[in-house]
Chains A and B, each alone.
Chain A
Amino acid sequence: MQHEIEVKIDETGNLECEVLGIEGSVCEVISAWLDQLGKVKEHSSTKDRYKDPNVLKNLTIRN
């Protein structure tokens, strides 16, 4: 599954990681390997986390 993870590294060595291009709960699974790097200080979901890509595929708009 094609996706991008953007990582910002500050001068204390802290990493801020965001998953781009993926919606739904799968994004948390595919980025879990980053936790091996150290101690997770914050872990949250953005609004796209709650989008279900399957629901969007089947959505039909009628006028």
Chain B
Amino acid sequence: MSAYRVIEINIKNIQSIVEGLKALGIPEGEIQVYQSQVFLTDYRGRRTKNKADVVVERRTIKRLFSNPYSSDIGFEMTKDGMRVHLSDYDHWWEKKKGKFFQTAAKNDLTLLAMQNGYSVQMKQNDGEKMVLSLVRNY
């Protein structure tokens, strides 16, 4: 090894938000992508709120995760990357955000790596640390 970097990733691909939400157990059918926005829908396929950001309604989180302390949470994709909005202290998000960020970061990294000619393989994923191998053969 010869070069070492630590990068604080800023999620830039909307598909990475979708993958992060799916990793938290939200069914794919409840995630709706519209232009640069992502909406979570209720079980009948309706948007929970018509806002410019992604909003998970209180009742949706309760239904999926049985967490009575959850509050509204939103994701907004700006030109500088993803921003997370919390209406107030959110136990659910504090518990789940690690897996969300890890999955979203993996997706952003994979997309960029493939654009640069690398193949991507998972070497380790033990729930705490995820290790990926990027290989370029030419």
Contact = CB atoms under 8 A, between A and B. Distances in A.
B129 A10 contact: yes
Interface string B95-126: 00111011011101100100010100001000
B106 A37 contact: no
Interface in A18-41: 18-20, 22-24, 27-28, 30-31, 33-41
Interface residues of B, number: 38
A19 B1 contact: yes
A8 B102 CA distance: 10
A19 B2 contact: yes
B102 A10 contact: yes
B34 interface: no
B3 to A, nearest CB: 4
A7 B2 contact: no
Interface residues of A, number: 45
Nearest to B137: A2
A6 B2 CA distance: 12
B2 A45 contact: yes
A43 B134 contact: no
A11 B6 contact: no
Contacts of A39: 7-8, 10
A5 to B, nearest CB: 4
B130 interface: yes
7 contacts: A5-B118, A15-B5, A15-B7, A16-B4, A16-B6, A19-B3, A48-B2
Interface of B: 1-12, 81, 97-99, 101-102, 104-106, 108-109, 112, 116, 118, 123, 128-138
Interface of A: 1-20, 22-24, 27-28, 30-31, 33-49, 51
Smallest CB-CB A-B distances: 4 pairs: A11-B98, A13-B101, A48-B2, A42-B6
